[in-house]
Amino acid sequence: MVEAKIRLYVDHPLAVGQSIPLERDQAHYLFGVMRQGEGAFIALFNSRDGEFLAEVTQAGKRGGTLTCREKSRDLQMPPDLWLLFAPIKKTRTDFIVEKAAEMGAMRICPVSTDFTNSERIRQDRLQAHAVEAAEQCGGTYVPEVADLVKLDRLLADWDPERQIMFCDEALVGAAEVLGAVKGGKWAILIGPEGGFSDAERKRLHALPYAHAVSLGPRILRADTAAVAALTVWQQQLGDWV
């Protein structure tokens, strides 16, 4: 099987013999930046059909065509894990989205909490970060980055089947760990730089499906906490073992 060095996410059905028209920016990236030409092979994936080796059958300045020649990998879905996090400074929010995509979150939900100071996000830009992370890490699935929603609103119609790993900084140093069994739908919740308000903490602790946990004896920055929580969850309940 031919090895493709470049991986590209396309929002298009994939199957052997399928031709995929390239968007202008994809053509610019492949032919302008990466200097690929007709006859080159690119690995394509679309979060649905797995990964395909596709040949460049038409290369142009403003567009081009790739034709799938063989299937190289099956779709590998991540666990049913959402990451809920309060947006922080732009670059650090970008970092959280990128790491969540690499580390196997299925959905990424920016939430605004009482002490969240970034009230706006660029959902399209964050989604592009998730795509780039999947292309780079060899994933065949790109998590959806949802639009910013108030935590209260999200909890109002929460599916009680989905357990919440509530990372509560008030438990810093406590021995509260995730004593849960594998399987089922989960979410990790990380607060903003200002932490959770007392009202939020009281509400979350009262939820039967929320499990308050400590992330160790030190207060972590929100972006560090997101990576730490994803690591703990994946190691204990996810698809890393």
Q: Is 118 in the site for ligand SAM (CB under 6 A)?
A: no
By beta-carbon proximity to ligand SAM, the closer residue of 15 and 170 is 170
**Choices 14-22, 123-131, 140-148, 164-172; region in contact with ligand SAM by CB under 6 A:** 164-172
Q: Report d(CA 96, CA 87) in Å as an integer.
A: 9
Q: C-alpha distances in angstroms, 154 versus 96, 183, 196?
A: 20, 22, 15
Closer residue to ligand SAM (CB): 16 or 170:
170
- Reading the block at residue 187, the tokens are 């979410």
- Strand pairing class (51-59; 41-45): antiparallel
CA–CA dist 80, 239 (Å, integer) = 10
Q: How many residues bind ligand SAM (CB under 6 A)?
A: 19
- If one asks whether residue 198 binds ligand SAM (CB under 6 A), the answer comes out as no
Beta-bridged to residue 190, according to DSSP, are: 85
Among 197, 221, 235, 239, binds ligand SAM (CB under 6 A): 221
For residue 93, the minimal CB distance to ligand SAM (Å) is 13
Asked if 225 is part of the footprint of ligand SAM (rule: CB under 6 A), the reply reads yes
Strands 149-150 and 107-112: parallel
How far is 96 from 188, CA to CA, in rounded Å?
12
Which residue among 42, 84, 146, 190 contacts ligand SAM (CB under 6 A)? 190
Residues of this chain that interact with ligand SAM (CB under 6 A) are: 167-169, 171-172, 190-191, 193-196, 214-216, 219-222, 225
